[in-house]
Chain A
Amino acid sequence: MAAQLSMLLAGLIFGFGLALSGMTHASKVLGFLDVTGNWDPTLLFVMGGAVAVSAIAFRFVLRRRAPLLAEQFSLPPARQVDAPLVAGAALFGIGWGIGGYCPGPGVALLAAHGWETWVFIPSMLLGALLHRAFKSSLGGGGARAAVAAPEN
């Protein structure tokens, strides 16, 4: 029960912080990416604040043998930089630069729903499904796919 509540709480703080930071407004995100327009550096401050906390606090957390409310850490395995990583990040960058939504603010569209919610979320899910279909059609060993899944 404590574990379940903590998951809800982590999501709650995450969502509140996202909305407070202004990052649920596509206009603010695109204002950051639009460096040749009326540039808005807000996103840099959001990332700076978030990474400042994670970079310091993760060091202490990861020194523990196990998390407080689970048996073990579920971390992505250490891997090399590879083509899927770079190609995936590039495709994601195109979609992000078009719409101004990455997955967090995309999900948060449910909190302020309108036409963008019902267009963006289903197409994002379809995109993830298409990747799964594409991956299994390549038939690339199940072992590697299983290893690849838990990252982030």
Chain B
Amino acid sequence: METFTPVTALIGGLLIGTAATLFLWLNGRIAGVSNIVAGLLEIRRGDVLWRLLFLCGLVAGASLYYLAFGEVPLHRADFPAWLLAAAGLLVGFGTSLGSGCTSGHGVCGLGRLSVRSLVATSVFVAVGIVTTFVVRHIFGVY
């Protein structure tokens, strides 16, 4: 899966946009995964079920694709576990502090023409590019 796959990318993207639209149209909510996950850490009445249902759907949808087409992502044998743990901490802390991630700010925020989301998306893509350069080409970790 190292090669450029524009057709499935575009269809997948259209499906993601459709899912976000359905969620907003039917339930009135933003399909931002980081906030949906983080909200589960603080259990409030009436605020748990919708999050769990969306996340279960997400996992089931990905499973369905793997069952049908068999392209299951491989776990990297040589990637250092401590580095992936650091990545997870930064993703959890950063999306919580910055109120969103690729889906919330990227797909939904840009769709709403939010200036905050445009700034956030530009920052995390730019910083991501610099970080990947440093990790891969300076430290040689893949």
Contact = CB atoms under 8 A, between A and B. Distances in A.
Interface of A: 3-4, 6-28, 30-31, 33-38, 40-43, 45-55, 57-58, 61-62, 64, 66-70, 72-76, 79-81, 84-99, 101-104, 106-108, 110-112, 114-117, 119-132, 134, 148-152
SS of B interface (majority): helix
Contacts of B91: 92, 95-96, 99, 101-103, 106, 124, 127
A87 B98 contact: yes
A61 B24 contact: yes
Given A76-B30, A96-B124, A54 B89 contact: no
A64 B121 CA distance: 27
Interface residues of B, number: 116
A76 B98 CA distance: 13
A21 to B, nearest CB: 3
B43 interface: no
A24 B66 CA distance: 11
A143 to B, nearest CB: 16
B66 A19 contact: yes
Contacts of B21: 53-54, 57-58, 61
Contact of B104 (A20, A53, A62, A151): A151
B12 A49 contact: yes
Given A55-B113, A99-B84, A12 B60 contact: yes
SS of A interface (majority): helix
Contacts of B16: 13-14, 17-18, 21, 46, 49-50, 53
B41 A125 contact: yes
Contacts of B37: 103, 107, 124-125, 128
